[in-house]
């Protein structure tokens, strides 16, 4: 059987309602678990992730439960209450894992955003189709002959254990994310996406006569049917007839629109649905609600599975896995006792947007959806809207010499933390904009600068707000990066708004602005990052045009042909030895020292190849904030 993950956009919508729901209801017990570390094959790397964001679950032949998560893979030994977490330093292709399947030999196959990970019980192997621009695999299923089928963007790949075959879709599925695959007993393969479905009859792909859109999960059942969960509907096909079952209101009378996340089949062939609002069961004629949202599981449901003994397992987006103890044949799951299994992770969310190093070498980590995590090398502390933080989507952070923290958020302005409480500043106080604050920087004179998407920068100094735009001297009005130079001047990395053509870098000495553009030697106008060495050398990272260094007179540019990992650079950091680290948008990290380039990717142990932030300690420990958690690298 196959279980499908909830699409990311829907998950984010429901996370807005789930913030603060980590407490367990009276009939839920949090299991006491023991972490059994996995063997490390990349000893210089350590991943910090949260593996309680579940995308898919499956039982292996030894009754171990495996979870594919946004923070790696977790193997749960339910009998001993132990778990083993696997990340990139253990051999996993990527920490972002969307789906899992098992072949008859017991080998597990995981879909990740860096290809396919195969685990035979002893070691990991990374595989990927050849000649593909995007290595992301979104879904996986095994057919009766143990041939593997993988869904990607606009494509399905078939792997027979030796060779790969690619099938590219046309029409409405051309660029669709194939997030679910179901294989019937006769070998028919169904690929589902928001844009529709297609099926493979052994020779070619076809589109069904019935128009089906919004598909987020699917499953083939022993009675020969295939089921599709779409926005607001459940749809079945028995080979001849299509049946549509509209969504219905749950017991709590919440919205009637249901977002299906996962399907499973019981040993007596009942079909179970896990959705954003409920767990439901198909009794042969209609769907009935077994469990409504927040009763007792206070988290968005992303996966459902039934164990060999008939027990129900539910994966959630934020709070690990729930197990229904001693389920009865009537499935009265509202009154039975639940047990919650969670990995003991301290990071609040795996989607990292910013990392700032405090004077005490502790880390302040901004996440997209999980607020802020503070890590002092021993203890993790989470700050969210529950604690007074303005927004759980944090895009930029800086820490003052006295330890006070300034934060730029996605939709709720600026937040300031004095060590005890948070204070919020918005446009009502004088901020240029409340949205998309990409950069935060504290200047030597105590002023705090914030960069916006299309609104220039705001300076907060002596309780007074001032806004600067391209009309004042900025190279562009979308400011992604701000850095302080050794002479205490500020450098701003800017990109043009859609209605502008100019972008580049600007220097501000407190009185005068000076602009540098592609006409001066920059390789491109869309600047994403800036950094300055102790000697005053400026490094500039661009979108799609590589990087440049500037010594005050001459510009020197570097691109992939010179050894740079990628031409789109999101972040730059200077090490204590003045060597330079670059984080790319899609391809990993580069290190430049003594005129030599070195590349690091997930295959080396990096948490993910999409890097948003880099922080380096005084003893040269490098921290990478990625889409798949945090990596610590000790050269």
- Are both 223 and 127 inside the same structural domain? yes
Mean pLDDT estimate for the chain: 91
With a cut of 90, say whether residue 18 has pLDDT above it.
no
With a cut of 70, say whether residue 483 has pLDDT above it.
yes
Q: How confident is the model at residue 291, as a pLDDT?
A: 77
Q: How confident is the model at residue 258, as a pLDDT?
A: 67
What's the whole-model pTM score?
Answer: 0.92
Q: Is residue 601 part of a domain?
A: yes
For residue 151, the tally of other CB atoms under 10 A from its CB is: 27
- Are both 85 and 199 inside the same structural domain? yes
Q: Is residue 34 part of a domain?
A: yes
| 282: DSSP letter | E
Contact 363, 397 (CB under 8 A): no
Q: Is residue 117 part of a domain?
A: yes
- Are both 437 and 288 inside the same structural domain? no
Share of the chain above pLDDT 70, in %: 91
Q: How confident is the model at residue 293, as a pLDDT?
A: 60
- Are both 429 and 337 inside the same structural domain? no
Query: CA torsion, points 510, 515, 521, 523, in degrees to nearest 10?
Result: 100
Q: Give mean pLDDT, residues 608-615.
A: 97
With a cut of 80, say whether residue 117 has pLDDT above it.
yes
Q: Is residue 306 part of a domain?
A: yes
**pLDDT band with cut points at 50, 70 and 90 for residue 327:** low
Q: Give mean pLDDT, residues 205-215.
A: 91
CA 310 to chain CA centroid, nearest Å: 32
- Compute the residue count for the chain: 635
Q: Is residue 129 part of a domain?
A: yes
Which CATH number covers residue 563?
A: 2.130.10.10
Q: How confident is the model at residue 26, as a pLDDT?
A: 55
Q: Is residue 381 part of a domain?
A: no
Q: Give mean pLDDT, residues 88-98.
A: 98
**pLDDT band with cut points at 50, 70 and 90 for residue 251:** very low
**pLDDT band with cut points at 50, 70 and 90 for residue 332:** low
- Are both 429 and 311 inside the same structural domain? no
- Are both 311 and 183 inside the same structural domain? yes
With a cut of 90, say whether residue 389 has pLDDT above it.
yes
Among 581, 630, 569, 580, smallest CA distance to 605 is for: 630
**pLDDT band with cut points at 50, 70 and 90 for residue 270:** confident
Query: Phi then psi for 561, rounded to 5 degrees?
Result: -65, -20
Q: Give mean pLDDT, residues 518-547.
A: 97
Among 512, 514, 539, 436, smallest CA distance to 479 is for: 436
Q: How confident is the model at residue 256, as a pLDDT?
A: 40
Distances (CA, A) of 52 to 5, 57, 153, 341, 345: 14, 12, 26, 9, 8
- Are both 587 and 458 inside the same structural domain? yes
- Domain termination site, one of 341, 370, 389: 341
188 three-state secondary structure: coil
Summarised one tens digit per residue, pLDDT across range 161-205 is 999 999 999 888 999 999 999 999 999 999 999 999 999 999 999
Range of the domain at 539: 425-633
- Are both 75 and 189 inside the same structural domain? yes
Q: Is residue 286 part of a domain?
A: yes
- Are both 333 and 236 inside the same structural domain? yes
Contact 52, 345 (CB under 8 A): yes
- Are both 325 and 460 inside the same structural domain? no
More confident residue, 134 or 105: 105
- Are both 51 and 174 inside the same structural domain? yes
- Give 7-39 as a DSSP string: PHHHHHHHHHHHTT--SPPTTEEE---EE-PPP
The count of domains in the chain is 2
Summarised one tens digit per residue, pLDDT across range 418-441 is 999 999 999 999 999 999 999 999
Element (H, E) at 53: none
Q: Is residue 629 part of a domain?
A: yes
| Listed range (1-5, 159-163, 482-486, 515-519) with the worst mean pLDDT | 1-5
Distances (CA, A) of 68 to 138, 318, 512: 11, 13, 53
| Listed range (48-62, 121-135, 508-522, 611-625) with the worst mean pLDDT | 121-135
The pair of structure tokens assigned to 156 is 């399905």
- Domain termination site, one of 278, 310, 341: 341
- Domain termination site, one of 341, 370, 398: 341
Contact 268, 221 (CB under 8 A): no
Among 403, 318, 320, 406, smallest CA distance to 366 is for: 406
Query: Phi then psi for 159, rounded to 5 degrees?
Result: -130, 120
**pLDDT band with cut points at 50, 70 and 90 for residue 275:** confident
- Are both 336 and 469 inside the same structural domain? no
């Amino acid at each position: 059987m196959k279980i499908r993950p909830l699409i990311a956009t829907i998950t984010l919508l429901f996370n807005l309602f789930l913030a603060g729901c980590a407490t367990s209801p009276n009939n839920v017990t949090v299991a006491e678990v023991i972490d059994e570390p996995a063997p490390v094959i990349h000893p210089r790397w350590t991943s910090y992730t949260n593996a309680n964001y579940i995308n898919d679950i499956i039982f292996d032949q030894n009754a171990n439960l495996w979870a594919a998560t946004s923070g790696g893979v977790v193997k749960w030994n339910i009998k001993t209450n132990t778990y083993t977490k696997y990340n990139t330093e253990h051999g996993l292709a990527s920490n972002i894992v969307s789906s899992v399947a098992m072949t008859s030999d017991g080998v597990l196959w995981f879909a990740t955003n860096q290809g396919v990970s195969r685990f035979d019980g002893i070691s990991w192997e990374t595989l990927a189709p050849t000649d593909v621009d995007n290595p992301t695999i979104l879904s996986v299923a095994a057919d009766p002959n143990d041939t593997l089928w993988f869904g990607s963007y606009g494509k399905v790949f078939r792997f027979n254990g030796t060779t790969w075959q690619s099938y590219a879709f046309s029409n409405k599925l051309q660029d669709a994310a194939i997030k679910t695959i179901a294989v019937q007993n006769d070998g028919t393969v169904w690929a589902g996406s928001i844009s529709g479905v297609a099926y493979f009859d052994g020779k070619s792909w076809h589109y069904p006569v019935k128009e089906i859109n919004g598909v987020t999960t699917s499953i083939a059942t022993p009675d020969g049917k295939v089921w599709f969960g779409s926005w607001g509907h459940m749809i079945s096909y028995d080979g001849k007839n299509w049946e549509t079952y509209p969504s219905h209101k749950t017991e709590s009378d919440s919205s009637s629109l249901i977002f299906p996340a996962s399907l499973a089949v019981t040993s007596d062939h009942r079909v179970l649905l896990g959705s954003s609002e409920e767990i439901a069961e198909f009794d042969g004629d209609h769907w009935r609600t077994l469990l409504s949202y927040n009763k007792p599981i206070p988290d968005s449901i992303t996966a459902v599975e039934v164990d060999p003994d008939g027990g129900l397992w539910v994966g959630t987006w934020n709070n690990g896995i729930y197990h229904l103890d001693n389920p009865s044949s009537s499935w009265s799951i509202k009154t039975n006792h639940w047990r919650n299994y969670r990995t003991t992770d301290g990071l609040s969310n795996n989607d990292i947007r910013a990392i700032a190093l405090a004077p005490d070498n502790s880390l302040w980590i901004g996440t997209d959806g999980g607020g802020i995590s503070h890590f002092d090398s021993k203890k993790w502390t989470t700050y969210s809207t529950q604690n007074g933080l303005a927004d759980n989507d944090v895009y930029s952070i800086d820490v003052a010499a006295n330890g006070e923290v300034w934060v730029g958020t996605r939709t709720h302005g600026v937040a300031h933390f004095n060590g005890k409480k948070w204070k919020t500043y918005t446009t009502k106080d004088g901020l240029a904009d409340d949205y998309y604050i990409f950069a935060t920087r504290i200047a030597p004179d105590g002023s705090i600068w914030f960069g916006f998407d299309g609104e220039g920068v705001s300076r907060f100094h002596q309780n007074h707000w001032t806004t600067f735009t391209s009309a004042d001297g900025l190279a562009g009005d979308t400011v992604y990066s701000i850095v302080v130079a050794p002479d205490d001047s500020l450098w701003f990395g800017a990109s043009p708004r859609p209605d502008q053509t100019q972008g580049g870098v600007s220097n501000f000495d407190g009185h005068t602005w000076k602009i540098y553009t592609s006409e001066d030697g920059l390789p491109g106008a869309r600047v994403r990052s800036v950094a300055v060495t102790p000697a005053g050398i400026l490094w500039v990272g661009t979108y799609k045009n590589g990087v440049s260094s500037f010594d005050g007179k001459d510009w020197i540019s570097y691109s992939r042909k010179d050894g740079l990992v990628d031409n789109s650079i999101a972040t730059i950091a200077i090490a204590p030895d003045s060597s330079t680290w670059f984080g790319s948008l899609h391809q990993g990290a580069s290190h430049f020292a003594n005129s030599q380039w070195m590349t690091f990717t997930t295959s080396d142990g990096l948490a993910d190849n999409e890097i948003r932030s880099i922080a380096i300690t005084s003893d040269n420990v490098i921290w990478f904030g990625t889409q798949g958690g945090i990596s610590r690298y000790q050269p």
